[in-house]
Structure 1
Amino acid sequence: MKKYKFKVNGNNYAVHITNVEGQAIELEVNGTPYTVQMEKEVKSSKTPQLVRSSAPRTAAPKAITRSAKKSNIVAPLPGTVVSLNVKEGDTVKQGDLLMTMEAMKMENNVLSETDGTIGVIKVQEGQSVLQGEVLVEMA
Structure 2
Amino acid sequence: MKSYKFKVNENGYTVNIKSHEDNVINLEVNGTSFDVIMSNEIKKTKTPRLVRSASKQPSAPLQTTPKSAKTKIIAPIPGTILSLNVKVGDTIKENDLLLVLEAMKMENNITAEKSGVVASIQVEVGQQVLQDAVLIELE
Kindly tell me the number of residue pairs found equivalent between the two proteins. Answer: 73
How much has 1:128 moved relative to structure 2?
0.2
Match of 2:85 in 1: 85
How much has 1:68 moved relative to structure 2?
2.7
The answer to whether residue 76 in structure 2 is matched with residue 76 in structure 1 is yes
| Cα-to-partner distance string for 1:47-104 (whole Å, 9 max, x where unaligned) | xxxxxxxxxxxxxxxxxxxx43111000010000000000000000000000001000
- Work out the CA distance in 2 between the residues paired with 1:85 and 1:100: 8
- Work out the CA distance in 2 between the residues paired with 1:107 and 1:68: 30
The code of the aligned residue for 1:99 comes to L
**SS of alignment partner, residue 80 of structure 2:** strand
TM normalised by structure 2 equals: 0.52
How much has 1:115 moved relative to structure 2?
0.3
Where does structure 2 lack aligned partners over 5 or more consecutive residues?
Answer: 1-66
- Work out the CA distance in 1 between the residues paired with 2:131 and 2:125: 17
Bigger radius of gyration among the two: 2
- Work out the CA distance in 2 between the residues paired with 1:76 and 1:111: 11
Instruction: Output the aligned Cα RMSD.
Output: 0.7
Counterparts of 1:42-53 in structure 2 under 5 Å? none
Match of 1:110 in 2: 110
- Work out the CA distance in 1 between the residues paired with 2:93 and 2:68: 18
Match of 1:98 in 2: 98
The code of the aligned residue for 2:77 comes to L
Match of 2:120 in 1: 120
Counterparts of 1:24-63 in structure 2 under 5 Å? none
- Work out the CA distance in 1 between the residues paired with 2:95 and 2:106: 20
TM normalised by structure 1 equals: 0.52
Give the share of equivalent positions with the same residue, in percent. 53
| Cα-to-partner distance string for 1:17-64 (whole Å, 9 max, x where unaligned) | xxxxxxxxxxxxxxxxxxxxxxxxxxxxxxxxxxxxxxxxxxxxxxxx
**SS of alignment partner, residue 83 of structure 2:** strand
Where does structure 1 lack aligned partners over 5 or more consecutive residues?
Answer: 1-66
- Work out the CA distance in 2 between the residues paired with 1:68 and 1:99: 23
